[in-house]
Amino acid sequence: MAFFTKILGQSWLGGVYKVDKPLFFILTLFFSGTVGFNLLKLQITPFFLWGMYSLKVPETATYPYLELIYDHGHVLNLRHTWNEPQKTYLYGPLGRYVYDKADASADPFTIYMETVWRKKHPRFAGLTQGLTMTQNELDRYPSWLRSYVSTVTGTPVDEVTVLQKRVSFDASGAPVEVSSDTVLHIDHP
């Protein structure tokens, strides 16, 4: 027990204990609850399972990705870095736009918000404004995308084409393009 007390006394948590005992007990309770709920595999706010994003990606016959081409044949190729906000800011909304344009009525988040959450919490329905896509926002997205591509490339961009490609992998592991469909084409007005 003395060994544990010595280690705790030299740790950050031990410093918290010396300065603020109620805060120490709250933090200890939170840490213990997090570990306990993870062992029980029970997700309840504010305790989230650590493994909720650790499922294996299932193998499929083909894998989709989006390719962005601007100004008649220049492929937008964002360099890999460990800090990729440009790629996230570009392809996250772009994937969402393509999904919503295909069938905006099938958006699981919008369906949940309208059929479950707002009915369950009618007094807080106003807080959900802006969380779901409107048709007006979908219509404005292409001009924003062209402007953002101009910012990323550092040159004025007049034309943007987005292709949704599907690839499979042959026996040696090399990618083989299966299909390529144009999902968005933007010309400068």
Mean pLDDT taken over the chain: 85
pLDDT at 87: 86
User: Residues 79, 131: one domain?
Assistant: yes
Q: Does residue 128 lie in a domain region?
A: yes
Would you state the pLDDT for residue 70? 95
Q: 53 falls in which pLDDT band (50, 70, 90)?
A: low
> 134 and 179: one domain?
yes
Out of 1-10, 81-90, 135-144, 165-174, pick the least confident.
1-10
Is residue 167 domain-shared with residue 74, that is, in the same domain?
A: yes
Residues 96 and 10 in one domain: no
Are 13 and 98 contained in the same domain?
no
* Domain assignment of residue 29, given as a range: 2-40
What is the number of structural domains in the chain? 2
Q: Which residue has the higher pLDDT, 31 or 106?
A: 31
- Of these ranges, 6-20, 91-105, 142-156, the one predicted with the greatest mean pLDDT is 142-156
Whether residue 57 lies inside any domain: the answer is: no
How many whole angstroms from its chain centre is CA 63? 18
Residues 31 and 89 in one domain: no
Angle, alpha carbons 102-104-109 (nearest 5°): 125
| Ordered DSSP codes for 52-114 | TT-PPPPP-S-EEEEEEEETTTEE--PPP-S--HHHHHHHHHHHHHHHHHHHGGG-HHHHHII
Q: Answer yes or no: do 14 and 88 share one domain.
A: no
55: in domain? no
Indicate the pLDDT class of residue 148, thresholds 50, 70 and 90. Answer: very high
